[in-house]
Structure 1
Amino acid sequence: MLSKGLLRVLLGITNVLFFIAGGTALGVGIWYSMDKLFIADVIGTDLFSAASYLFIFCGACILILSFLGCSASVFESKRLLIVYLFLVILILIVFLSAAIVAAVFQGELTSSLVTRMQTTLKQSYGNNIYSNADNKRITESWDFTQKMLRCCGVEDSGYGIYRETQWYRDGVSQAIDGSQVNFIPKSCCVYLEHRQKYQNVDLCQRNPYGPPTNPDPNTSKNDNMYYDGCLSAAKYYGEDNAGIILAIGFGFSFVLIAGIVLSILLIRKFVNLSFDPVSTKVT
């Protein structure tokens, strides 16, 4: 049977882990809200922004929770421990519910993302960007995403979508002849990091022998442009980090469960029940 002192030590260690997890979540949320919100412009929804702010909120709550748990243990307060136990159970339920919802609706979310991304590209990319701040921001976000993830358009081999943008229509109207029309933006072209330059912009944007001039994916391959759509590129990027995410999620769940078990055991230790012996003697 674990002693009260050992339980307090173990609960203290658990709350230190809570503090680390909360600080990590808070830092990730702030980082994404400051540096990664361009993705919200690309997917055409505030879902990503909301997730970043949710990280900040949850991180702050977990930090507060760690202090509450330490205080309850140090001062041996049964009431604080009960409040702490309730909040840890609540966080665990929310955590598991979010994971289940994400798994169930994964297909629907992917389908809706395709539609939203196509809409932002067709309606805003290169559309009056010098007088429309929103369209300029969305255009820059698409360029940044395509260059960073080495992708083009929304779906794989979907570079033909740029023919439906105002950017392409403006390019056609300004070109002297068809040979000067750019069919995809420069951000869709292969960028050589070690040389800090594009491989071949001319053949990338207006290759006369195949893509992107010819949108048929069965034509000759153009090695100077990206074929992966940004949706699949983002998926592959996430899968590359899936192991780390699963490990963090499993570790966090384990810490939450440990906090629940230790709290229950310590509450039982703090409860000092005295029973008066009941006389069974018959008079």
Structure 2
Amino acid sequence: MLSKGLLRVLLGVTNVLLFIAGGTALGVGVWYSMDKLFIADIIGTDLFSAASYLFIFCGSCILILSFLGCSAAVLESKKLSIVYVFLLILILIVFLSAAIIAAVFQGELTSSLTGRMQTSLKQSYGNQISSNEENKRVTDSWDFAQKTLRCCGVDDSGYGIYRETQWYRDQVTRAIDLSQVNFVPESCCVYLEHRQQYQNVDLCQRNPYGPPTNPDPNTSKNDHLYYDGCMSAAKHYGEDNAGVILAIGFGFSFVLIAGIVLSILIIRKIADMNFDPVSTKVV
């Protein structure tokens, strides 16, 4: 049977780990909310934003809980320990619920995202961006996503979708002939990081021998144009970052369960110490 002193030490170690896990979640949430929310604009949904803010909220709560857990252990307060256990269980339920919902709706979410991304591109890209702040933000997010993820459009070899955007229609209206029209934006062009410049913007945007001027992907290949769609690129991007999220989730679950078990054991120890049995001996 573990002594109360050993339980307090183990709970202290658990709360240090909880503090580290909470700080990590908070940092990841802030990082995603500041640097990765271009994904939310191009998919036309706030799910990605909500996930980032959930990390920030839960991380902040866990940081506070780690101090509460240490206080409960040091003060040997039964009430604080009960509140601590209750809040840990609540956070654990939130995490498990989010994981279950994500697993159940993964296929449906993927199929709906394709339609959302196509709608976002067709309706907002380059559409009155000088007077419409939302469309300008979506346009900038698409450009940033395509350049960062090395993709173009939504589907693989889907650069032809730009013919359905207001950005393309405005060019056709202003151009004297089609030789002056760009069929894809600059962000769809191969970018050479080591040179900090595009490989060949002219052939990328107005290739006279094939894509993107000719939307048929079976014609001569354009080596200056990205063929991967941003849907598949975003999926690969998510898979690359899934390891971080899974590691954080596993660490959370383990530390939360450890904190719950140790706190319950301490509560029982405190209860046993405070229990003063009534003598039943007859004098």
Normalised-by-shorter TM-score class: over 0.9
Contact 2:126 2:167 (8 Å CA) reproduced: yes
- Describe how 1:138-217 pairs up with structure 2 within 5 A: 138-217=138-217
- C-alpha displacement at 1:149, in angstroms? 0.6
- Describe how 1:84-163 pairs up with structure 2 within 5 A: 84-163=84-163
- C-alpha displacement at 1:274, in angstroms? 4.0
- C-alpha displacement at 1:41, in angstroms? 1.7
Aligned to 2:43: 43
Instruction: State, as a whole percentage, how many aligned pairs show the same letter.
Output: 83
Runs of 4+ in 1 over 4 A off after TM superposition: 276-279
Aligned to 1:7: 7
Q: Match of 2:222, SS?
A: coil
Q: Match of 2:211, SS?
A: coil
Gaps of 5+ in 1: none
- C-alpha displacement at 1:52, in angstroms? 2.2
- One-letter amino acid matched to 1:27: G
- C-alpha displacement at 1:33, in angstroms? 2.6
> 1:45-81 CA distances to partner (integer Å, 9 max, x unpaired)?
2222222222221111111111110110000001111
Aligned to 2:239: 239
**In 2: Cα distance, 1:248 partner to 1:165 partner:** 40
Aligned to 2:249: 249
> 1:231-277 CA distances to partner (integer Å, 9 max, x unpaired)?
11111112123223222221211111111111111111111234456
Gaps of 5+ in 2: none
Residue range with higher mean Cα deviation, 184-193 or 252-261: 252-261
**In 2: Cα distance, 1:21 partner to 1:128 partner:** 44
Contact 2:21 2:251 (8 Å CA) reproduced: no
TM-score, structure 2 normalization: 0.94
- C-alpha displacement at 1:29, in angstroms? 2.2
TM-score, structure 1 normalization: 0.94
**In 1: Cα distance, 2:228 partner to 2:97 partner:** 33
**In 2: Cα distance, 1:32 partner to 1:245 partner:** 12
- One-letter amino acid matched to 1:2: L
**In 2: Cα distance, 1:49 partner to 1:245 partner:** 15
> 1:137-176 CA distances to partner (integer Å, 9 max, x unpaired)?
1111110110011011111111111000011111112222
- One-letter amino acid matched to 2:75: F
